Each structure stands twice: as structure tokens, then as C-alpha cells.
Chain A
């Protein structure tokens, strides 16, 4: 919580604070928590007594912070602020959340259902009624089912409302569900941690940063990504003077808060991790009790890293041996409150599961699993499901299609669905709230796949690139205008959050639940939506946790008692959900499938002369490309810039703020030009830009043509054989000077 906020304010103004001096640390925070609890019952600041605020949770990114929407005296939309009791945001929304109103205000939004009339991609549509749109879809889907079977339909999904389309399509008879946030983002991490610890770290990640004494970030740019509570916890770690070690070819914001910045050669992270493991073992400073009690394969690991010394890693990573040793000792010294953050977007080099395995192993050696300042344990929270008849069993799923490929993929990689589509395995896609042109690498392949389809239905709020390729566009209203599926969180606290509409839906836009339910009616699948409206559905679910819509509209977030402690209790016997019930440093499972049971480093391709590795990341003002057109956030950051080391700029004769184009190793030229930012903050073998810009969709009036789209330049893709993640950082660019 805030250290100096309204509570302090009240206390101070009533002159009730006696504690002077410099005791500003955690004791103070604890004290203020007591005050919150007292106030929470009475203060309109926390509870929506007067009904002027509307409870929601944010959809500006996947963190889904609970929030209040307020109107001004004239009843006009005013602001969105955080819900104080919510553990995703602790009452503070981030930049994008605060700018959430912009998504509602954006005049470029999709307004009415549309059906394609021109050629695919030609962007010629006619506006139709919802009924016409539904009839069109139902007819096509019926035909596909009859001629090819329902399994030929796939759903790409990255939004809260997508769950209703899952219901719809499962009812229809397909289980081909995918989300680009798996193979294009955090999949390798989740599988690596499952292989090692038996479970993944979840989302929000169960990292206890607030209590960590040593935090290692490897390419994780907390602060530039604004994963709200995690950023707040990171802020607390800084306040607590935690030792922060940041490994990044770029002097990120996190690096600037770090005791150690290790500007390693891009792509050599695993070598560094292996060297760290070597030091921990060689110097005998790993967490022996944890390893002894809970890990298997330590001997194999010891042997495996014997020669992976800091001296071995030095020429690979460019990180000096003494720095590698010093940082390893820092980790060991602070263990178990020592955490190597597993990151989120980790689809980098095609061997990502193995790299994340090495990070998982390193964490195991620090003994931080279930410990304060390490990874805390998830709680359990069951919210009842609205009963519906069983789904028809599909004849085959993705797993049957793919056979032995990607044996550790727990969900179909979106890129794999795309590839299978090109091979003719799919006839229809439903794309819900994800702009596949920017969320999958190499948009040319995506277009090739779309050309194989009989029906592409896109459900979205904005006319992003993917809508231009759609056969039917279904305009969803924004999160500020709709009820939605509940947010159920089992993190440090078990909480349920409600999204309720603050404003009437603009134009002819509709909530996802309404679209799915009415489309189901048209398709004769109404039995899978046996509720009359969403409120009945939500009320049913809320009753199972002893709440109701009425209550939730007042409080926004309901906390359910968490019976599972978040840390392991002393003397508790830890059981891991791996085949051996132990932490598997050595993975027999991997070995059985012909993969390295212990991670082996291979040097990724290096840039040729005149080429630089293209690295990309996030900016706090934007969630990928999704928010670039948001009128409020666009003002903060209308386009991206290209970071370039001064030495590189000098060699090329490029000046700060000069505009250039980029060309990748395959000769692909960027659509637009980009402003160069000459900065000491990056190595001389890489360039960096923020992902999500360079929109080609003309209907995005602010975002169109601004900056460079990195996805277009990502044409050299390596696929992680373990689980199918696509690599993005295997691309190099050179510069095209404008005449």
C-alpha cells in the first residue's frame, strides 16, 4: 500500500501520529495496513456506497486490475482509478489503466457488424445487422461442419470475453483453442517450471519481490512493462534496498535501479546461468538443505556444469568472471529471499524452454520455492461454474494432428495452428481480441494461412490489421461498457473481481457474452448458454462464493478466505507435482523424449558485419500495439524510436533524431521510417525498439504509419522443439538511410 496516502493524511491531519524520526520502512507499512482495515468499512473511498462509481476490472492488459469508473457532475466519463483492496493493483492503476477511458472515447472504434464484400484483405465491407452477421456465420459454420467436420474451426483468443467463444465453439464441436500468449510469449517458461517444479509460476507471477533481498532480472524489464502489482512490489524491493542484478544488453529502467548491470551479449543468457550454477556449486554456497531434501539430479548437475566456469562464460557473454562470481555470491548470500525472475515474454531463441530450465534450476539451488522473498505458493479458489450439457467430443484435437512434435506443449501454439492452416487443416478461424498481424511473427505467413480459410470471424473493439482480413467483423464494446466473465485470482490473496458496465455501449457494439450467446442461438447451440442474461450467469457463480451481483457492484472485489498458506511452513513436507515428486534438476522426462535432460548452451547466430540484432520490448504507455491508437496514451508515446549505440551511429554517420529505415537479414524492408535515438544505453551489436508500432491499418488514424513494426522484420523464426515457441530475437537488421 501507499506509504503516504489518504490514510496517513487523515491520521496526520488529526495529529495522531507520534512516530517521528526515520523509521520509514516496513513497520510503517504494517501500521498503515491496520488503518486501511478500519477505514475500509466506513470510507466511501473504498466502498461504493453512493453508487457513483462503477466496479470493473481493467482490460488494457492481461493483469486485469480491479478498478472504479467515475463520471463527473455532468454525468460524462471522467476517470478510472484502482480498487484499494485489489491485489493486482493495490488501489493504483498503471499508466495504461489510468488511460483506459481513451479506449472508450476512441472514435476509430469498430462500430457495427460488417461482412466482407471485396477480395480478402482489400478491406471492402458492408455494414450489416447483427442478425445478418450471425446468419452468415451460422450458415458457413454449418457447411464446414457438414463437409469437413467441426474440428476445422480454431479460436485465437486473448481477452476476457474470449471464454464465451470457447463455450460456443466447444459446443459446436471443436477444441482447437489457442492464445498467442503461449508460444509467442510465456509458454517456454511455464513448461520449464512445470518440468522442474511440477507447476508453473502463473499469472500474475507468484514472485514475492516485495520481500526479496536479491532480485535477478534476465531480460525482464519491470518498469517498462507495467505489470502492476509486480512493479509495485519491485518498487518496494528498491525501497527495501534489495540487491538488484539486471542482465540485459540494454540499460533498462530496471538496470538503472540495479547494483549490478550485466550488459551481456544477446542470446547468451544460458551460458551466464550455467556459470552461476557452477559458482554456487563450486563454492558450495547453494541451498544445501533444499537440494538434499527436495531435489533430484544434483550429481548430474554438478558434473554437467563442472566446466561451465565463469572463465568459460566470459568470452561467450562478455561478462567478466569476477562479476559472475560476485553476483552469484550475492544471490547465495540472500537466499532463500533471493529470486531469479522467470520473466514473461521468453520466446527468444528457439531453445527457450531449456534456457528457462536453467533459470528454474538456479532458483532451486537458491532454495526459494515457497519461501518469503522467493516464489510464494498459489492458493486455491473454486468459483462454481454455471452448469451446461456436456460438449460433444471432437474426433481429433491439435495433439492428435501434431503427433510427437512439441511433446511438452500443454496447449496448441498459435504459430502451429497457423502452419497447420497453411497445410490445409483448418477452414475457419475465430479471432477474439488479438491482432494476429502483430502478435505472430512474420505476418506474410499469417496472410498465407488466412487465404486457406472459408471463414475468418474477428471479434474486436478496434479496426486493427487483422480486421482488414476478416470475412465477418463483430464489434465488441469496450470493457467499460460491458459485464464480463469474473476475474478469479488465486495469488497471494484469493479474490474475485466483477466487471460491470459504466457507460452504455456506443454505436452498435455488443459485449462478447451477448455476441456468443446470440450466435449460439442462431447455430442451434443455445443449450450451452442456458442462462437468460449475463447477470443471471454471474449471480449463479457469485453465489458459490457467498456473494451476489448487488454486492459486487458495491465492492468490486471480493476476497475469499485463503486456507493455503503462501509460504511453506517449517517442518512441512514439500511435495512437487513432478513424476519423482521432487524438484527435477535432471529431467528424465526430457531425456525420454530425446531432449537434453540438463540444459546445454549453444551459441545463437551472430550478426554479420553491418547488421545488428533486433531486440524489442515494452513501454509503460502501451500494451503492445493494442493501445497505440488510444487518444490519451498516444499522446504520451505516438511512435517508437530506434536505440542505437553512439559508436554505431558514428560508423554510419547517423545523427541523433535522424530518421532511417530498417532492413532485415532476408532483405525485408520496414514500411515506415523511424527516429534514431543515439544512446549509451545499448550495446553496439544490437538495436532496440518498442514493439507494437508501425500499424498498417488505415482506420487507426493515430497509430497508422507511426514508427516501425518489428514483427514484419522477424522473418527468421526458430521453433522450440520442446513446446513449439517461436523465436523472435533471431533477426538482424541493417540501416537504410533516407535520401
Chain B
């Protein structure tokens, strides 16, 4: 069973990310995210003082954690993990808009739709079903985003995580995030 389960991971190379925000726009149109809301965003982190500076860009989104507090905090089962994957989704028919999941996310990745239900990044699972990559990954102009199954040792993401130094966001929160950043 374990081998059949997909551990989907997004691996983002901060070294080639230029923070252009294309991922945000591609997501917005692909998923028809309403005006004023976003499922992903870009963070720019600068350290040092002139002229010895370093800068990191990160495209951030729901981490599709393997220990997702949003799912465990949901009182109605609206937040759930897609079968045989680690993709966390929201069933809008079950969602009451209680916002427990919003409060439980250490990444502030969730938001409230105008209709009242909660939404967030889905790893574009509707595209995965068609054999396509998430919209953000497929449009990234510096090709700094990779997506695949960590249970497959030969997948590009597995190989990248073996070959390169990486980090995840807020590992101390204990959520086992599945968006990795190559550094």
C-alpha cells in the first residue's frame, strides 16, 4: 500500500527563483481565484547590510503537510486528505466556515471565499488527474519549481532532495510540510 500512496512534494529552488509572481497569476487564472484573494504568494527575504547582501525568494502556498493541523482541527470533515496522497483539500459542501482550519495553519495558507467556505492551494489535483503539473509549476519561467512523488525514488523531486541542501518552512510546528526549498 505504501508504495502506491503518492507523497506529492513541491520542490522550489530558491537559487533560481526570481520572485516574479508568475506562479501567483497562473494559479489565479487556472483556479479562478476571486479578486483580492490568493492561494500562493512570494516572499522576499534580505539579510546583511550594504554591500554585503543576500536575498532569497520563495514562492509559498499550502504545504500539504503530512501531519495537517487543518484536517485534524476541522469539526465537520470538510478539510480532508485526498485518498492515497498527502493532498489536503476542502469539501465546500461540508464546510461551515468555522475557520478552525484557518486558525490552525501555521503558514496562513487558507482563506475565506466570498461564498463563505474555506479555500487554499490544491496542488492543482484536477490537473494531476489529467497528467499535468500544477499550474504554478508548469508556468514558472525560471523552472525553479518541481513537482512529483517522493515515494518514487527516481522522481526528479526525490533526486533533487537527495542531491541538494534543502529546508522546509517552520519544521518546528511539527506539521511535516511537503513544500521543500532548495538552498
Contact = CB atoms under 8 A, between A and B. Distances in A.
Nearest to B28: A632
B106 to A, nearest CB: 24
Interface string A249-275: 001010111000101000000000000
Most buried by A among B55, B146, B160: B55
A13 B133 CA distance: 13
Contacts of B108: none
Contacts of B78: none
Contacts, number: 181
A3 B155 CA distance: 11
A98 interface: yes
Interface in B1-39: 13, 15-16, 18-22, 24-26, 28-30, 32, 35-36, 38
Given A3-B146, A22-B162, A8 B156 contact: yes
Interface string A10-31: 1011010111111010000000
A6 B143 contact: no
Interface string B144-176: 101111001111110110110000000000000
Interface stretch (A135-143, A492-500, A528-536, A676-684): A676-684
Given A235-B142, A238-B142, A253-B55, A4 B147 contact: yes
Contacts of A22: 159, 162-163
For the residues of B in contact with A, the DSSP-based class is mixed
A650 to B, nearest CB: 13
A45 interface: yes
Nearest to A254: B18
A232 interface: yes
Interface in A628-653: 631-633, 635-636, 645
Interface string B39-52: 00000001011110
Contacts of B46: 251, 679-681
A681 B50 contact: yes
B137 interface: yes
A3 B160 CA distance: 11
A93 B154 contact: no
Nearest to B36: A635
A637 to B, nearest CB: 8
Contact of A681 (B32, B53, B160): B53
A684 B51 CA distance: 11
Contact of B144 (A8, A80, A235, A255): A235
A232 B139 contact: no
B15 A238 contact: yes
B45 to A, nearest CB: 10
Interface string B115-158: 00000000000000001110101111111101111001111110
B143 A3 contact: yes
B83 interface: no
A633 B157 CA distance: 30
A273 B162 CA distance: 42
A68 to B, nearest CB: 12
A94 interface: yes
A93 B133 CA distance: 15
A234 interface: yes
A92 interface: yes
A251 B47 CA distance: 12
Contacts of A6: 131-133, 138
Nearest to A65: B141
Contacts of A231: 18, 20, 141-142
Give the size category of B's interface with A: 35 or more
A239 interface: yes
Nearest to B152: A12
Interface residues of A, number: 65
Contacts of B143: 2-3, 92, 232, 235-236, 239
A235 B16 contact: yes
Contacts of A635: 28, 35-36, 38
B110 interface: no
Given A5-B138, A257-B15, A261-B51, A18 B154 contact: yes
A4 B20 contact: no
A226 B50 contact: no
A21 B55 CA distance: 29
B25 A12 contact: no
B57 interface: yes
A99 interface: yes
Contacts of A631: 35
Contact of B156 (A4, A92, A620): A4
Contacts of A78: 29-30, 32
Interface in A663-719: 679-684
A99 B48 CA distance: 34
Most buried by A among B135, B149, B156, B162: B156
Contacts of A228: 141
B139 A82 contact: yes
Contacts of B54: 256
A223 B132 contact: no
A261 B54 CA distance: 11
Nearest to A223: B18
Nearest to B13: A239
B175 to A, nearest CB: 24
A434 interface: no
B141 A9 contact: no
Contacts of A94: 20, 22, 141
Interface of B: 13, 15-16, 18-22, 24-26, 28-30, 32, 35-36, 38, 46, 48-51, 53-57, 131-133, 135, 137-144, 146-149, 152-157, 159-160, 162-163
State the 7 A-B residue pairs at the shortest beta-carbon distance, nearest first.
A235-B142, A223-B18, A620-B20, A256-B55, A4-B156, A22-B163, A79-B29
Given A92-B140, A257-B18, 17 more contacts: A8-B148, A12-B149, A21-B159, A78-B30, A92-B141, A95-B21, A95-B24, A98-B26, A228-B141, A231-B142, A232-B141, A256-B53, A257-B16, A263-B50, A680-B50, A683-B50, A684-B50
14 contacts: A2-B133, A4-B148, A12-B154, A20-B153, A22-B162, A24-B163, A72-B32, A79-B30, A98-B22, A231-B142, A621-B25, A631-B35, A645-B50, A683-B50
